[in-house]
Structure 1
Amino acid sequence: MIDVMAKPHQLIASDRVEGTAVRRPNGERIGHIERLMIDKISGKVSYAILSFGGFLGIGTNLLPLPWARLTYNPRFEAYELDIDDEELRHAPSFGADKDFDWGDRSQETELHRYYGTPPYWGGF
């Protein structure tokens, strides 16, 4: 039997992404990935939900990030997000006790406009 986990590869299980740190390029920790949002039709990861702020889950903000804004940095064993405090403060977010309306394409469009990334479904 071959141990496929012994060979380095590009794939990662979703449960191993959840909880992974998100850091700035200088290594400063911003938060962690709470969950992934996957397009049911294409099977592609569309968003990572960044959890940051708060203490023991109280006052925690969840920030939907277009997956294209994150890059994996093996040096930090974390996802990297080049975002400053001002951009982070004004980013579309929702409280941990609420949910983003994933059925509202206009909210998703605004999210992509904010980050300057093309929507995963194509075009603005």
Structure 2
Amino acid sequence: MAYDDVRTANADLKETHDLIASDKVEGTKVYDLHGEHIGSIERILVEKRGGKVSYAVLSFGGFLGIGNDHYPLPWSKLNYDEDLGGYRVDITKEQLDGAPRYESEDEAFWTAENGRRVYDYYGVVPYWI
């Protein structure tokens, strides 16, 4: 099989044992440690130069996507749970209520200072250190 044939055959690949396509991650449910649904992944943010997944943006609240709150979580906080078919995090909905959040069009949120604030809130060493 030629390279182009292999590339075409794998273009629709969504998941392997260890890998998952970004468009399949988006919309995946997020649960607390007790298995309670606390939100869904709206998008993932990838570092431009290093290619590291830095954040999962969690959304919850609202109705039909309107009025959702957006919470950036350090990617390292999420652990995939095959039984749930989603990610578990060691935070509660109440803790999430006090977490740093942003409006969906607020590009000004994404500063180094706010990045550190997000990582500090969740008790995670920033990936850039």
Q: After superposition, give the CA deviation of every residue in 1:53-99 in whole Å (9 maximum; x if it has no partner).
A: 11112221000000011100001010111212331110001133534
Query: What is residue 45 of structure 1 aligned with on the other side?
Result: 53
- TM-score normalised by length of structure 1: 0.86
Query: What is residue 80 of structure 1 aligned with on the other side?
Result: 88
Query: How big is the alpha-carbon RMSD for the aligned residues of Structure 1 and Structure 2?
Result: 2.0
In the alignment, the residues of structure 2 paired with residue 121 and residue 111 of structure 1 have an alpha-carbon distance, to the nearest angstrom, of: 13
8 Å contact kept, 1:25–1:81: yes
8 Å contact kept, 1:59–1:95: no
2:100 counterpart of 1:120:
no
In the alignment, the residues of structure 2 paired with residue 38 and residue 111 of structure 1 have an alpha-carbon distance, to the nearest angstrom, of: 16
Larger Rg: 2
Query: What is residue 75 of structure 2 aligned with on the other side?
Result: 67
8 Å contact kept, 1:18–1:35: yes
SS of 2:35 mapped into structure 1: coil
Out of 88, 108, 112, the position equivalent to 2:115 is 108
Give the counterpart letter for 1:37 in structure 2: L
2:51 counterpart of 1:56:
no
**Structure 2: unaligned runs, 5 residues or longer:** none
Aligned pairs, how many? 120
Percent sequence identity over aligned pairs: 47
**Structure 1: unaligned runs, 5 residues or longer:** none
